[in-house]
Amino acid sequence: MQIPNTLIIAGHDPSGGAGIQADIEAVAAAGGHAATLVTALTCQDTHNVYDVRITDAAFFEQCLSRLEADMTFAALKTGVLASTDQVEAVAGFCERYPDLPVVIDPVLVASGGGRLAEDAVGKRLRDRLIDKATLLTPNAHEARALCDGQDDLDRCGRQLAERAGHVLITGGDTDDPRVINRLFTAEGEIARYEWPRLNGVFHGSGCTLAASIAARLAAGMPLEAALSTAQADVHEMLANAFSAGSGQAIPNRLSRQ
């Protein structure tokens, strides 16, 4: 029996709502296996991020090298990259496997407002890694930050898609009455996905969506089918979200298993 391997490179969230645990559960719910490389340990709960301990650069590269020698990967998904060294290591990995589907979730700030990556990391990600992406999945805030504060999301989408293959700007962090996720290429918006806005605030929704898409690409699904299927599944996970703590609700990723 063979199950497609998705390599996840992201941070650890002790609450289990976001980061590596969210990715593992989302990939498993899609029928895949997640191999994981932790970029940072965070002091975090369902409210916010309070502190970050970045994985040592040499140890990070050693772990990546061991995984690369041992396993074959059908997709890569990145979450928070906590240092410029990590961005460079991941960029090098992508250059060695140019045909590998790559989903980049450019996590720059936690949903509660705490910073996960310094500006230098975001700039390095934009300059060195975005052009390796099959799909970039920023929320509206992250898209604007990666475009130096450009307010117009149409322009952000086109600008980012000049580097990445496709850009899905998600609308969970906007004030629109419905959640609108917009898919861009360099020519402009090519698809729009609208979902009812659910009550509450969710912890780990972006991680869950990006990992769900990556797992489906790993299984050989075409991009637009992967996008549609993953978004429908994540909407159901959010509709069945639960309160593990006193803060944001956690998507029920097990509801899709």
CA distance 39 to 57: 9
Q: Which residues have a Cβ under 8 Å from the Cβ of 172 and sit 6 or more positions away?
A: 139, 179, 202, 205, 206
Per residue in 143-156, pLDDT tens? 998 998 788 999 99
The predicted structure's pLDDT at residue 190: 96
What 3 state SS string does the chain have? CCCCEEEEEEEECCCCCCHHHHHHHHHHHCCCEEEEEEEEEEEECCCCEEEEEECCHHHHHHHHHHHHHHCCCCEEEECCCCCHHHHHHHHHHHHHCCCCCEEECCCCECCCCCECCCHHHHHHHHHHHHHHCCEECCEHHHHHHHCCCCCCHHHHHHHHHCCCCEEEEECCCCCCCEEEEEEEECCEEEEEEEEECCCCCECCHHHHHHHHHHHHHHCCCCHHHHHHHHHHHHHHHHHCCECCCCCCEECCHHHHC
Query: How far apart are the C-alpha atoms of 206 and 23, rounded to whole Å?
Result: 10
> What would the pLDDT profile of 176-226 be if each residue is shown by its tens digit?
899 999 999 999 999 999 999 999 999 999 999 999 999 999 999 999 999
Q: Find where tokens 């609700």 sit.
A: 249
Q: What is the pTM of this model?
A: 0.95
Residues 42-52 pLDDT 10s: 999 999 999 99
Residues 6 or more apart whose Cβ sits within 8 Å of residue 101: 74, 75, 76, 134, 135, 214, 217, 218
* CATH annotation of 5-127+201-256: 3.40.1190.20
Integer angstrom CA distances of residue 16 from 45, 54, 243, 245, 257: 9, 18, 12, 10, 17
- Residue written as token pair 């497609």: 4
Domains in the chain: boundaries? 5-127+201-256
The alpha carbon of 163 is separated from its chain's Cα centroid by a whole number of angstroms, namely: 17
User: HSE of 1 in the Cβ direction (CA atoms, 13 Å)?
Assistant: 4
Q: Is the model's pLDDT at 82 over the cut of 70?
A: yes
Average pLDDT, stretch 236-250?
A: 96
